[in-house]
Structure 1
Amino acid sequence: MPRRGRGRLRLEDVRELEAQLLSAAQEAFMAHGYGATSMAEVARSAGVSKTTLYAKFPTKAALFRAIVDQQQDEAYGAVDEAVGEASERSLASSLRHLAEQTVLHASQPENLALNRLIDWEAPRLPELAEVTHARLKRSIGRIAGYIGEFAARDGIPCRDPEAAAELFNFTVRGLYHEIRMGVRSAAPDEVRARVAKIVEAFLASRSLW
């Protein structure tokens, strides 16, 4: 791909450039690992200068963080499309949709590969550990938001929405771990059935939250 000339980029060009950089980076990370991939290699793969790459992503950790954020944004976009009108939602349906869509999205081959890379390299690379912590915090915040919303709507107080969200997230991650390890199928019907049981068990303890 030819290098881009100088001058101010239009918004659509900026978005195209970002997508180009993230795609090239993800391919490089998957092929060589996070630690072994250099920013220079990503720039070459994307067909841009290192100056252009660093202007958009000042560090390799920032570049990887953008890939992870994109993964989450796509999953949450699917969640938002599935939950329906606010007046028709319940805590149970919201949690089911959230868990189903995020597990199904994370179970796609390219996302499984990314998450396996994180599991492999994060223990020895602090910047990757920070990225995964930020992703976890965002997930818990989303769940805690649902719990707080419906605590007020349903008149069922919750003493600690974040602690309840952590418990729910941990349980759903257990399901995803089984899928990632090949112990359980990622077939949509099976995921939905397992999620329904998780949500039912979680809500059974609602008065204790």
Structure 2
Amino acid sequence: MEKEAEEREVRKRILGAALSAFMEGGYAQTSTLEIATRARVSKRDLYTLFGNKEAMLVACISERAQRLQVPVDLPALRDRATLGQVLTAFGTKLLTETTDPVVVAVFRLAISETVNAPKVAQTLESMARKPIREALRTIIANAVSAGLLAGEPEAMTHTFLGLLWGDLMTGLLLQTTDRPSNTEIMRRASEASTVLLRLHTA
């Protein structure tokens, strides 16, 4: 058990050091030696745990993506008021996690390193973006089945995300927009939920 705990700690240090180095100097310019030095580990330890720096960045994204998972204890969708609360909670969590400066920096890295590290963008899509869309689509499809919404779940999923985000992520990626406050995040989520319910009355 002690060895496993030590390995988890080393892994955590390596991922933290790797992400910091990638954010500061860029993925292509960061060497595994620099990451090992920052993490206070040997290059052998680094390669044993991850193999290469692309695997490190993929692991960083995967761990962040875990925070975006939808709670399994969502209330049953008995009425439109409950549906509004569920959608607002979903939108609030999504915006809170994805507007985190570290997450935005990872998105920026994925965009800039599409050629050098294609797995990064693929991981972002498969581990973060796709599960989010599928979870939201499931909520909306259940609402349709319960007679609380009228429309096509896939289309309504895109509508909700469009209402929620607007051009916020573009501004964050370009560093022309500040991260929204908790109050602003909740306002956006509530407004997106209200408009969706208004547009798709059963």
- TM-score, with normalisation over the residues of structure 2? 0.76
CA distance in 1 between counterparts of 2:138 and 2:4 reads: 32
Give the corresponding residue for 2:191. Answer: 197
- RMSD, matched Cα: 3.3
**Does structure 2 retain, via aligned residues, the 8 Å contact 1:143–1:165?**
yes
Q: Which letter maps to 1:92?
A: G
Q: What's the counterpart of residue 57 of structure 1?
A: 50
Equivalent pairs counted in the alignment come to: 196
Q: Is the 2:62–2:123 Cα contact (8 Å) retained in structure 1?
A: no
1:97 Cα offset (Å):
1.2
1: distance between equivalents of 2:4 and 2:49? Answer: 14
Distance 1:143 1:61, change over 3 A: farther
User: Mind listing any 5+ residue stretches in structure 2 that lack a counterpart?
Assistant: none
Contact 1:179 1:186 in 2 (8 A): no
Q: Deviations over 1:149-201 (max 9, x none)?
A: 4344x245877544433443344333532661444661111221122111222
Output the amino acid matched with 1:104: T
> Which structure 1 segments of 5+ residues have no match?
1-7
Which residue of 2 is the match for residue 66 of structure 1?
Answer: 59
Amino acid across the alignment from 1:35: A
User: Counterpart in 1 of 2:86?
Assistant: 94
Q: CA deviation at 1:124?
A: 6.5
Judge which range, 51-60 or 21-30, deviates more: 51-60
Contact 2:100 2:179 (8 Å CA) reproduced: no
Identify if the C-alpha distance between structure 1 residues 193 and 14 changes in structure 2 by more than 3 Å, giving closer, same or farther: same
- Larger mean Cα displacement after TM superposition, 105-114 or 29-38: 105-114
The equivalent residue for 1:116 is 108
Pick one of 7, 23, 35 that aligns with 1:14: 7
Give, in whole Å, the separation in 2 of the partners of 1:17 and 1:114.
21
Match of 2:32 in 1: 39
Letter in 2 for 1:34: Y
* Aligned partner of residue 103 in structure 2, secondary structure: helix
Q: Distance in 2 between matches of 1:17 and 1:150?
A: 45
TM, length-normalised to structure 1 = 0.73
Q: Contact 2:14 / 2:46 at 8 angstroms: preserved in 1?
A: yes
Give 1:112-151 correspondences, 5 Å limit: 112-122=104-114, 125-134=117-126, 135-151=128-144
Calculate percent identity across the aligned residue pairs.
Answer: 24
Kindly state the Cα deviation for residue 27 of structure 1 after the two structures are TM-superposed.
0.9
Q: CA, structure 1 residues 50+84, in 2 after alignment: closer, same or farther (shift >3 Å)?
A: same
Whether the aligned pair in 2 keeps the contact of 1:123 and 1:129 (CA below 8 Å) is: no
Q: Deviations over 1:12-47 (max 9, x none)?
A: 333222211210111111111112223333223222
**RCO higher in structure (CA 8 A, sep ≥6):** 2
Change in Cα spacing, 1:32 to 1:194, as seen in structure 2 (3 Å) is same
Does the 8 A contact of 1:39 with 1:60 survive in 2? yes
Task: Output the CA distance in 1 between the equivalents of 2:133 and 2:10.
Answer: 31
Change in Cα spacing, 1:38 to 1:169, as seen in structure 2 (3 Å) is farther
